[in-house]
Structure 1
Amino acid sequence: ESIEWLEAVLMHHPGAILLISHDRVFLDTLTKRTVEIGGVKVYDYKGPYSAYQLWREEERERQSQAAKNQQKYIQDTEQLINKFRAKKNKAAFAQSLIKKLDKLERVEVDAAENAQIRFRFPPAPRSGKVIFEAQGVKKCFDELTVFEGLDFIMARQEKVALVGKNGAGKTTFTRMLLNLEAATQGSLETGHNVDIGYYAQNQTDELNGDLTVLGTLEEVAVGDIRKQLRGLLGSFLFSGEDVDKKVKVLSGGEKARLALCKLLLHPYNVLILDEPTNHLDLKSKSVLKEALRSFDGSLIVVSHDRDFLSDMTQLVYEVTPHGLKQYIGDIKQFLHEKHATSITAYEAKKNTPIAEQKSKAPKTPSKDSSGLSHAERKERDKAIRKAKKDVNRWESKVTQLEQKLSEHNDAMAEVDPSDRAKMTDMAYAYDAVQQEMQDAINQWELAVETLDRLESNG
């Protein structure tokens, strides 16, 4: 909720904003200019972060091709120099070529920080066809019923996102899958040869403080992955002398990144990750996301990062007081069905606990159970119909603008990166469409809030 609030405040801030963030969606929503500070160079681009990333990749490709052409020219020139420098009548010509090469300004190719990092999980050992199977599961803590009637079956190699409103029992359910919590009622079985790797927010407590960062990984790494340990640590922000630090002197964020890094080394066939991106920057998130997408085991992930979850899972399961509800597709489809622009916006809508629901005895409808007169009810129903139309209208508008934004992205990919004028014009056009879409999303959110308010008052 705090991210939603901050985004709304900054959207309407009249002055300039210098924003540093690891949240890609947050950056794309709020910024119109991107400045990257590299090792020896600063890159300044008039456009949001995602558009800047596209431009940087194209710029690297252009530089790489220019460097290849220049290298060929240098080799050809050096051949001429070697051919003529020993001949008296051509010695002067050879010297002029040497001076020409000395004055030649070499084309430098910008180093992509994660260009060499293509980490993949070790092949997952084969498990049974069914990973988890739950039937009629109920979980209570004293008088509080968290959920009941929960049915769940997960097949081998399925990748699912687990979501739920605040207090719905996401963590409780994952702990039950790990046999760390017992069901109050019902059955929950784990399949054959299932080996679970779990990342929780308190995972750092399991680290040995007397080991070094590199030693922590060397202790558990096996096979070819041992050759990639320093590169992998670099992707999680440990580089140079950092790998020789003792774990006990690391900050909380560094320990969390190391714990996640360590988890990736073991050949599990099931991963359950709870908020794995909390302490990761954009580069590290991207590395982890690609590793998870190529993971050939089963995955359950809990995260508030919409960009991280996008295009990662085939299914979304919503934890509700009455069990699990399945949604086909990734988090984008789920949020679209829930009329929410982000996971935090969806979670902000309150659930009614089961205990509270049961405490309310069914009421026999009276002549005027709402306390409204006939005329007032008629006016309210009219307002609800109008609010529904507004929600559908703005939802359609957002969908159209998403398509338009995608078309702009495709068009930008076709432009020659050396044509700075055209790239700048297209970046401004992209920004204009993005701003229009954000305005439409804001209107849609207002319409949804109005509809919710009218229906709850009914």
Structure 2
Amino acid sequence: DDKVVLENIDFIVGRQEKIAFVGRNGEGKSTLAKMIVGAIRGKGKIELGHNINLGYFAQNQAEELDSEKTVFETIDDIARGEIRTKIRDLLGSFLFKGEDIDKKVKVLSGGEKGRLALCKLLLEPYNLLVLDEPTNHLDIPSKQILKDALLNYSGTILVVSHDREFLRGLVDKVYEFKNKSIKEYAGGIDFFLEQRKINQLNELNEIKSKPQKTSKASQASQYKSKKELDALIKKASNRVTIAENRVNDLEGKKTELEKKMNDPECASDAGLFKTFNQVEKELMVNMEEWEKATEELEELEKRRNSSFSL
């Protein structure tokens, strides 16, 4: 039998709306996103408006790039009109500078491929973007580049995400997927979290024990393990948030210092350059801490899902 993940849902997405799909794993968020873009079929009707040009970005989108092309060729092949004269500047805004643009896709790191795939997506004349966990596997600078680009995007956005910081200020409506249905929250991600009385989206992945007959001793042991794992996940989640906030603060300081360093009046200020180097070192340390904390959180959540999921 076909598995039913959603039933009796009915909603309209308006022009220029920015909507987040949130909810526990396995509740149908990605399934609906794939149905909207035509990647999979389901029962019911999905109707796109007049003159809709739809773009889709999934977490594995970087794998779709042509590995034999260079960074420059990848963008040059799709660029049209005036933008063709500004490809180097455009790639620079996605952190591809100097000789980077002549590298072949196959030698790029995962983060670089992600940035190139984003650049390619945002260059296309799409007026509806469907993004499925777009920040997975992206480093912090890439996440910020994507968010900045989407904040300036005038089309409609549907984004599946568990990333609170990414969604903050980006979406103006939240759809929570739960028990085969969808509930609308007419506000941003902070409004949704406040309504649900939680701090992080991953808290939606509540632990549900398998319904089975167990001894009281076994139940007590399972409950204790669950509580301990919950505590570790909460601690790791806080570490991720703290590290991410530090990185954002330091990137802000770095940008301010770069502006001052470009000022001719400050060109001879040795202290300014010393401060800049210190901030850059701190930034690298905190980015490593963020990546380490994120990996730890993902591992703990995998343990929870495999041990206590239905």
Could you tell me which of 68, 72, 82 is aligned with 1:224?
Answer: 82
Q: Does 1:180 align with 2:39?
A: yes
Q: Tell me how far apart the structure 2 counterparts of residues 240 and 280 of structure 1 sit (CA, whole Å).
A: 22
Counterpart of 2:72 in structure 1: which amino acid? L
Name the residue aligned to 2:134: 276
Tell me which structure has the larger Cα radius of gyration: 1
Name the residue aligned to 1:81: none
Q: Tell me how far apart the structure 1 counterparts of residues 98 and 203 of structure 2 sit (CA, whole Å).
A: 40
User: Which consecutive segments of 4 or more residues in structure 1 shift more than 6 A?
Assistant: none
Name the residue aligned to 2:108: 250
Name the residue aligned to 1:385: none
Structure number having the greater strand percentage: 1
Could you tell me which of 136, 158, 163 is aligned with 1:305?
Answer: 163
Q: Which structure is richer in relative contact order (CA contacts within 8 A, separation 6 or more)?
A: 2
Mapping for residues 3-42 of structure 1, pairs under 5 Å:
none
Q: Tell me how far apart the structure 2 counterparts of residues 169 and 350 of structure 1 sit (CA, whole Å).
A: 18
Q: Tell me how far apart the structure 1 counterparts of residues 54 and 178 of structure 2 sit (CA, whole Å).
A: 24
Name the residue aligned to 1:315: 173
Name the residue aligned to 1:157: 16
> Pairwise CA RMSD of aligned residues?
2.5
Shift of 1:154: 0.6
Shift of 1:188: 1.8
User: In 2, are the aligned partners of 1:209 and 1:246 still within 8 Å (CA)?
Assistant: yes
Shift of 1:350: 4.8
Q: Structure 1 288/204 Cα, relative in aligned 2: closer, same or farther at 3 Å?
A: closer
Q: Tell me how far apart the structure 1 counterparts of residues 165 and 106 of structure 2 sit (CA, whole Å).
A: 32
Name the residue aligned to 1:336: 194
User: In 2, are the aligned partners of 1:160 and 1:316 still within 8 Å (CA)?
Assistant: yes
Shift of 1:162: 0.9
What are the Cα deviations for residues 185-222 of structure 1, in whole angstroms up to 9, with x where unaligned?
A: x3221211111110012212321111100110010011
What are the Cα deviations for residues 1-33 of structure 1, in whole angstroms up to 9, with x where unaligned?
A: xxxxxxxxxxxxxxxxxxxxxxxxxxxxxxxxx
What are the Cα deviations for residues 66-97 of structure 1, in whole angstroms up to 9, with x where unaligned?
A: xxxxxxxxxxxxxxxxxxxxxxxxxxxxxxxx
Aligned length, in residue pairs: 213
Shift of 1:279: 4.1
Shift of 1:168: 0.5
Unpaired segments ≥5 residues, structure 1: 1-141, 357-416, 418-458
Unpaired segments ≥5 residues, structure 2: 212-256, 258-310
Q: Tell me how far apart the structure 1 counterparts of residues 97 and 186 of structure 2 sit (CA, whole Å).
A: 40
Name the residue aligned to 2:307: none
Name the residue aligned to 1:349: 206
Could you tell me which of 63, 66, 76 is aligned with 1:205?
Answer: 63
Counterpart of 2:22 in structure 1: which amino acid? V
Q: Tell me how far apart the structure 2 counterparts of residues 205 and 281 of structure 1 sit (CA, whole Å).
A: 17
Shift of 1:285: 2.8
Q: Does 1:292 align with 2:168?
A: no
Q: Structure 1 155/350 Cα, relative in aligned 2: closer, same or farther at 3 Å?
A: farther
Shift of 1:169: 1.0
Shift of 1:303: 2.1
What are the Cα deviations for residues 210-265 of structure 1, in whole angstroms up to 9, with x where unaligned?
A: 11001100100113333443233233332221110111222333222211111010
Counterpart of 2:39 in structure 1: which amino acid? L
What are the Cα deviations for residues 256-282 of structure 1, in whole angstroms up to 9, with x where unaligned?
A: 221111101011010111222234444
Name the residue aligned to 1:191: 49
Shift of 1:351: 7.4
What are the Cα deviations for residues 309-329 of structure 1, in whole angstroms up to 9, with x where unaligned?
A: 111111001122332110011
Shift of 1:308: 1.4
Q: Tell me how far apart the structure 1 counterparts of residues 145 and 85 of structure 2 sit (CA, whole Å).
A: 17
Counterpart of 1:158 in structure 2: which amino acid? E
Q: Structure 1 143/283 Cα, relative in aligned 2: closer, same or farther at 3 Å?
A: closer
Q: Tell me how far apart the structure 2 counterparts of residues 275 and 236 of structure 1 sit (CA, whole Å).
A: 19
What are the Cα deviations for residues 283-336 of structure 1, in whole angstroms up to 9, with x where unaligned?
A: 443332222122111111122221111111110011223321100111111111
Secondary structure of 1:173's aligned partner? helix
Secondary structure of 1:316's aligned partner? strand
Q: Tell me how far apart the structure 2 counterparts of residues 285 and 171 of structure 1 sit (CA, whole Å).
A: 20
Q: Tell me how far apart the structure 2 counterparts of residues 285 and 323 of structure 1 sit (CA, whole Å).
A: 30
Q: Tell me how far apart the structure 2 counterparts of residues 350 and 335 of structure 1 sit (CA, whole Å).
A: 18
Counterpart of 1:263 in structure 2: which amino acid? L
What are the Cα deviations for residues 369-412 of structure 1, in whole angstroms up to 9, with x where unaligned?
A: xxxxxxxxxxxxxxxxxxxxxxxxxxxxxxxxxxxxxxxxxxxx
TM-score in terms of structure 1 length: 0.43
